[in-house]
Amino acid sequence: MDFETENNRINLLPEHLIDQIKAGEVVERPANVLKELLENSIDAGASEVKITLKENGLDLIAIEDNGNGMYYEELPYAFCRHATSKINSFEDIYKLNTFGFRGEALASISSVSRISCHSAPQDDLEQGGKLIIHGAQTVEHAYYKPSKSGTSLYVKDLFYNTPVRLKFVKSKISEKNALKRIINAFLISYPHVKFFVTWDDKDREIYPPFSMEEKAKRITNVIGPKKTPINLMEANNSYLNNSIRCFVSKESSKGNAGKHHYLFVNNRLFTDKKIHQIIIRNMEKYWNFGETGHYIIELTVPEHEIDVNVHPNKTLIKFLKANEVFSLISASIKKLISENQRDDFDIENSPTMEFG
């Protein structure tokens, strides 16, 4: 084989092309972008987050928060590949108490969109900055003094320079449901944060903050239909160094449409088919045959006993002691069912009072 021909020479790819290729791992759809940006806001300690979406995120994804903010000179580093404030060594990956750590998200997003970032630190607003990037190319970097600290990030024209990616964007309904799922996940995990959500030209949705003890109220506001509020069963349990908080609906219905199924570990949203099956199999004893309801499972596991570095989108988790986690979930669901079946029995058999 002749490697000296013009067409077969091995060349180093330019940085912007590397970013666009890697973006395929992190930015598969608008919901991935939204997730990464919301994680940054939470990591920055924001207590208020404003979300604006247009055309299901393809035209605009805007996140405005009141978090710690960044200095003018830090802004370019935030959009460099493998630049992060979250870890300093490989071992830190297994001691994470933040979302981000790979330092890939903003670089990937900025390579396939037109992005504008305004940010200022809490301790010195005059040291704030503005950075505009189009397709991985910096257009403007300047000092910027806002009226308050925090970060405002606007992602416009997603995939404008990689039109082939648009072919893989799913239907409007599918993309909107994916965006809603990400928003709901953060609403549920962070009840103490006030969220504002605006879809296209519709009225802004406001989610006031609740204490962690009142999380069931936030969950009901998020997943419960307005006309017929859902009834949630709640249970807490622990085993060794692991703990769990379960919220499961009493109501059930056939099919999966409109069902809210959320798994969290240390406030991080993840998916796991085996855990899903454990929950469904145990809840068959309570829900009507062939029906399912809503569930939210929140696990707290020591950081060094989970691996979140399985995939760039960070939604796949490996548990060091998986059997302990699975057993805790199963036992907790059984406990929840037992307690609520007993309560339901007491209500049905309670004496009635007659007045006359």
- Tell me the residue length of the chain: 356
pLDDT at 149: 94
Residue type, 263: L
For tokens 């599918």, the residue is 174
Range 22-31 average pLDDT: 73
pLDDT tier at 2, thresholds 50, 70, 90: low
Q: What's the chain's average pLDDT?
A: 85
Q: Alpha-carbon distance 238 to 273, whole Å? A: 22
Distances (CA, A) of 21 to 104, 162, 316: 12, 10, 21
Reported in sequence order, the residue ranges of the chain that DSSP labels E, i.e. its strands, are: 48-54, 60-65, 114-120, 129-134, 137-143, 150-156, 194-199, 205-207, 232-239, 242-249, 261-265, 268-270, 295-300, 306-307, 318-319
Rounded Cα–Cα distance for residues 203 and 53 (Å): 12
Secondary structure of residue 80 in the 3-state scheme: coil
How far apart are the C-alpha atoms of 301 and 319, rounded to whole Å? 9
Q: What's the pLDDT at 275?
A: 96
Residue 229: pLDDT band with limits 50, 70, 90: confident
Q: How confident is the model at residue 212 (pLDDT cuts 50, 70, 90)?
A: confident
Residue 208's φ and ψ, nearest 5 degrees, are -65, 155
Residue 49 has pLDDT above 90, yes or no: yes
pLDDT in tens, 12-23: 766 666 655 555
Per-residue pLDDT averaged across 236-259, rounded? 90
pLDDT at position 59, please?
A: 97
* Structure-token pair, residue 273: 């088919």
Q: Print burial letters for 45-84: b (CB count within 10 Å at least 16), e (below 16).
A: ebeebbbbbeebbbebbbbbbbbbbbbbebbeebbebeeb
pLDDT of residue 41: 95
Supply 311's token pair.
């995939």
Look up the pTM and report it: 0.84
Q: How does pLDDT run across 58-106, given as a tens digit for each residue?
A: 999 999 999 999 999 999 999 987 655 554 554 544 455 555 545 678 9
Query: 143-192 pLDDT, tens per residue?
Result: 999 999 999 999 999 999 988 888 888 899 999 999 999 999 999 999 99
Q: Which of 195, 199, 175, 177 is nearest to 186 (CA)?
A: 195
The arithmetic mean of pLDDT across residues 316-334, rounded, is 94
Give me the domains of the chain, ranges plus CATH numbers: 15-207 (3.30.565.10), 225-348 (3.30.230.10)
The identity of residue 349, as a single letter, is N
Least confident of 77-86, 115-124, 153-162, 268-277: 77-86
- Count the alpha carbons within 13 Å of 186 in the hemisphere toward its beta carbon: 29
C-alpha closest to that of 327 among 237, 221, 235, 233: 237
Confidence grade of residue 345 (pLDDT, cut at 50, 70, 90): very low
Which pairing describes strands 295-300 and 114-120: parallel, antiparallel, or unpaired?
Answer: unpaired
291 to each of 135, 249, 257, 280, how far by Cα in Å? 47, 12, 11, 9
- Amino acid present at 89: S
